[in-house]
Structure 1
Amino acid sequence: MSSDLLEAGLATDAPETRVPITIERALSALAMAALCVITFANVLARYFTDYSFAFTEEYSIFLMVVMTMLGSAVAAAADRHIRITFVSDRLPAPVRRVTDTIAWGAALVMFGFLIWYGGRLTYDQWRFEETSPGLGNPQWLYTVWMPVLSVVVALRILGRMARILRRSV
């Protein structure tokens, strides 16, 4: 992106992805809106009645996990994941490409673990019919989203790695 576009305000922050990240952004906005509504309702209920809604904690934790995973997918697609680039930015382009691929590979392995172990946890919760402590809902209904959204993040990481490897040396 040229500096002329940045100065003119014509540059967008949209990443060069084949699949647009609009879905992840919209779902995370919905999760944030739901979190704000139930938290605000709980505050109002506590203020006016001295009682709180018991369900808000369970749903709030669930919505925070969903927002975190969707945010990770957007960050992976946009190449905005937190990392220390002090050294890698000063490396020659071919070496930087290798270090970027290794870093994204490590992220892919980590999300692979989340897929595997999150799936096992979800399966165990379903098999043993665990229920949530506050509302008594099946616990796997909350947990299933961790491996599912980890797959989304892993796919975004694979897309980022493909763009890095296609980039000219």
Structure 2
Amino acid sequence: MNQKIIRFFDHFEEFLCASMLGAMAAIAFANVISRYFLHYSFAFIEELEVSAFVWITLFGASIGFRRGAHLNVSLLVKNLPKSVQRACVIISGVLGIALFGLLIFYGIGQIKMELLFDTRSQGIGVPQWWYTLGLPLGAALVILRILQTTIIQWKKLS
């Protein structure tokens, strides 16, 4: 049972991104068919796709950090002494956490403003903060993955 829970959380972002991409493709296809046959376009489709794209981007960044797939200067770092490599791992982790921490901070600020002014989306009329919530949530997940990979890299270098 524990392994299933761990496996779920290890692949949570992949499931979410795949589901959202599938939904985006389906609603875009429905909109194309509607435009072609009915000569009518659904205005809310673009709104949903743009909002889902923000979520997918941040959750995809989280997947990239978990897999270690983001760009880095490994050729330079691998030729340094182990102590300097460990320092680079920590500095890289701290800088990544700082960057995504700023995204959380400003994302929460944006959500507060949207709540204060009761901002609604143009197409559907739902609260705008529903869409903006992907920014701090995705950034928080990225921070967790940065911590996870930093610890793993640190242990490999010890």
* TM-score interval, normalised by the smaller of the two chains: 0.7 to 0.9
Query: Using CA pairs below 8 Å that are at least 6 residues apart, which structure has the higher relative contact order?
Result: 2
Partner residue, 1:67: 56
Matches within 5 A, 1:105-120: 105-120=94-109
2:66 aligned to which of 53, 77, 81: 77
* Amino acid in structure 2 at the alignment position of 1:119: I
Match status 1:143 vs 2:132: yes
Partner residue, 2:3: none
Gaps of 5+ in 2: 1-5
Separation of aligned partners in 2, 1:90 and 1:168: 13
> Cα RMSD over matched residues?
1.9
Instruction: Point out 4+ residue stretches in structure 1 off by more than 4 angstroms.
Output: 17-20
Q: Deviations over 1:51-100 (max 9, x none)?
A: 21111111001111111111111111121122333422332333222212
Separation of aligned partners in 2, 1:82 and 1:62: 26
Partner residue, 2:143: 154
Q: TM-score w.r.t. structure 2 length?
A: 0.87
C-alpha displacement of 1:109: 0.5
Matches within 5 A, 1:5-154: 20-154=9-143
Identity rate, percent:
33
Q: Is contact 2:104–2:139 with CA below 8 Å preserved after alignment?
A: yes
Q: Is contact 1:132–1:138 with CA below 8 Å preserved after alignment?
A: yes
Q: Deviations over 1:3-41 (max 9, x none)?
A: xxxxxxxxxxxxxx9984211111111011011101111
Separation of aligned partners in 2, 1:104 and 1:168: 15
Separation of aligned partners in 2, 1:20 and 1:152: 11
Separation of aligned partners in 2, 1:115 and 1:104: 16
**Matched residue pairs, number?**
153
Q: Secondary structure at the match of 1:167?
A: helix
Q: Is contact 2:66–2:148 with CA below 8 Å preserved after alignment?
A: yes
Q: Secondary structure at the match of 1:82?
A: coil
Q: TM-score w.r.t. structure 1 length?
A: 0.82
Partner residue, 1:6: none
Partner residue, 2:156: 167
